[in-house]
Structure 1
């Protein structure tokens, strides 16, 4: 993988921040965008801007072809059976909320169980809290091992015959834990439950095959995988989506509207009320083309090398605590002794290094870690070992600065 050539496709990386060349280590929050994505969105607005599905004029036809063409690219990217199983949403949050509202609230009752983990992003906790409150179901958590993983025995002991929904993240946005979602799905199905996978940190970094995983729902966001913000995907097995009701009502998603009743379009459009995110979908399609050209296997291998290199070098710093398992995705979450992570991030920013600091929308996990917040460096296909060297140097300067202060 020619990382130097890849970096040239990302114009934002060619700049200085606070007098230093930018080192962007915050791709878990949002990735940067390559030229072909920027140009695809620009071309739509310059040449094809029109609403989709409704018009018969040339611009409308071109826009519709590109929009539905992007859906087919997503279908192939995750190996879904049909484009009917690919719903465009605003992102992972909307996708999970759609399942929690449309599926869970219609199918759960008092005595049923929803099973999740303490490592979930808030977007995969709060919707299930609300679904449990609305239906009388019980929310249960798979316990975590000390290194931030869970075992299949943990899963088997938590899921019961009363479990109706199991919702887990594919990859933890804090710990970097890669969860065995295929095996979790098998256990869930043995107990009659459906599985919902938060793939926000999975789809950008590894090959996702929803048939192989046998998950019932898989959610991910475009902006974390080189695509635009405001576009995401909900994959759902067709037989489940067919039985679910829409959560937004209006134009686009209807078949016939009478004065007192209406009927819905077939899948996938019954879940896409109103003017859809056309430019976002087209940009996501271009991002998928870009990732396919690079190769997901190449991206995964490159990121694994970066994660190993980062762990090795960060551990050479005295007074650093690193959270999560040894085998992990391409991110490292850490704290420096006696330095608040916001202060760490501020000093690093002065050196041109962008990292994330805070609770990372995972406050229950912060409580489990017994910290208020952490700093996080996350890597993607455009990062290099030199970026990690800069991070290590920046952290040493942070320690030196706060050592002098205190």
Structure 2
């Protein structure tokens, strides 16, 4: 009989390298390693050879960067998604794409299961598995970190390192790794290790070496840099007059944002599984794009449409954070968001300076701003009669007066 096939989300790090060998040994299965290129850059070097040496029967390294930017980052930014007021969801938004491709490979290869190296304490296990449930409920999911047998064999990193050495698996990890990272086109995250102490200052001079995508604001250029972002129906389509794909936009904004120390966030967030977690993030390009998109909306989006969409930002961001990207309620919200963006077209000018994104101008052929109406001088259009405000205020004040009268009578 042919062996069972398992598709493993493989990064080449200590955990997934050990898991690859463990799956093959424990399940007597054929393990297909899958790595999604979502913008890790040099982290992908040598992965195919390493996976084969570790025991993979086949290796997929798929470039998903275009799809990631166009179909995941851009729709999420149209929604204005921001988790708990700070987090631009860099890790969260990559997981459904990775899971989607894993499922596609599993079906193409006739695999009966997919596996991941997410821990039993984190959000990623939920994101991978909810996406798989929505897309391929017939495929089994193996989560080694939730398997008592696996945890008994590997209670800590020291045991994993020893196992890797015994199996001849090359890993760069040491028993005293100071923090863990996750990188993609939108951001890089840092957590665990020294960062588990929320009083630890990750922005200090001695910790500059931790950051990858950006210089510290103190070390950014002393001269500001101006940038123009072109938008069509809520999507950034070019920079400084040059047309670009979503991927090209993200890559260029990351370069510029990193140069000017933009996009660093240090926060304690609420994980879906119930605990609080401290994370440090670099999102240089995303921070610029998020700011510019909001400015573009301010000029072109109807007031009540904006307020309706804004009332749903927390819900939308929570759905993404918790792993419900493919859930019907997220798809329903996305339809509303897409409709809201039909008029979000024009150009935004921003100034990048020492960690800040500063609005420097905005224009649009479909602007809803009319200076003749908004002017404090005489209104040549006579579209707004100031006398009308008297009745407007009186009607809106009526319930307040009634309420005040009731309180006074007490």
The normalised TM-score by structure 2 is 0.30
Structure of higher CA gyration radius: 2
Which structure exhibits the higher relative contact order, with contacts defined as CA atoms closer than 8 Å and separated by 6 or more residues?
1
The normalised TM-score by structure 1 is 0.30
